[in-house]
Amino acid sequence: MWGSTSVKIDNHVYTAGGRSSNFVDCLNLNQVDGDWYKVAFMNKQHQYAASAVLNDQMCVAGGRDGGNNVLSSVELYNPVVNTWTHIAPMQTKRCQHALVCYNGRLYTFGGGEFLNRLNSMESFDPREGKWKLLKPMNEKRRALSGVVDNDEIYAIGGDELKSVERFNIRTNTWTNVGSLNHVRLGSCACVVNGKIYVIGGRDDDASKSIEAYDATINEWKIETNMETPRWDASVVAL
């Protein structure tokens, strides 16, 4: 579904939301040639939301609802009991943003509300039950991708951007690292074998290409091309 978001939990892939949708589909990777099947719907429609895994549950934050309203709401899916519950909303309404989890905390950054781009970052600690603002990024980024690698958070690309920056959680600081080869709007990213892979996205002929970041040399290299152009898609590492 266009503008959906995905995670992997216990060898299951969950894909949630998308255009005017609160549907959630699941793929059981333990079943050979298994089909996708529906699980409990989210409480709200979420398009251009972001997701992460928090304590073996799928967290979906922000996005747009069916009326094109940008959301601050956050929902948590428990696959054991097949239910969605609300947790504290973000301080800022966000869509086309990034969300990651590290050491039991959620971190969301960037995105926007229509033409307004954000560089703000906030974090949610389940023990405190609320979101707190952290150091903003160096650049405003809408339709970026984000990952955690080697205990640091990466904010990758975005609308009209090749630049990438890295957040040190201990020092609460952002530092620019090597830039992408292409501008990437609406790409998706994951970490495999110590490398960050960024897939697709619009602008600058990026929609079929995949590039990887090697932190040891601080450089992005084009790895391969997909057969099908993709943007506003989602990816999980198996």
Q: Which pair of structure tokens corresponds to residue 97?
A: 């943003």
- Model pLDDT, residue 130: 96
**CATH code linked to domain 143-238:** 2.40.128
C-alpha to C-alpha distances, 121 to 198, 222, 238, nearest whole angstrom: 21, 29, 28
CA atoms within 13 A on the CB side of 65: 11
CA atoms of 75 and 85, how far apart (whole Å): 6
pTM confidence score: 0.96
C-alpha to C-alpha distances, 55 to 5, 97, 100, 101, nearest whole angstrom: 18, 21, 12, 9
- Model pLDDT, residue 150: 94
Q: Which pair of structure tokens corresponds to residue 130?
A: 């609320």
Q: Start-end ranges of CATH 2.40.128 in the chain?
A: 143-238
Q: Start-end ranges of CATH 2.120.10.80 in the chain?
A: 1-136
**CATH code linked to domain 1-136:** 2.120.10.80
The pLDDT tens digits for 135-173 are 999 999 999 999 999 999 999 999 999 999 999 999 999
Residues of the chain whose pLDDT is less than 50? none
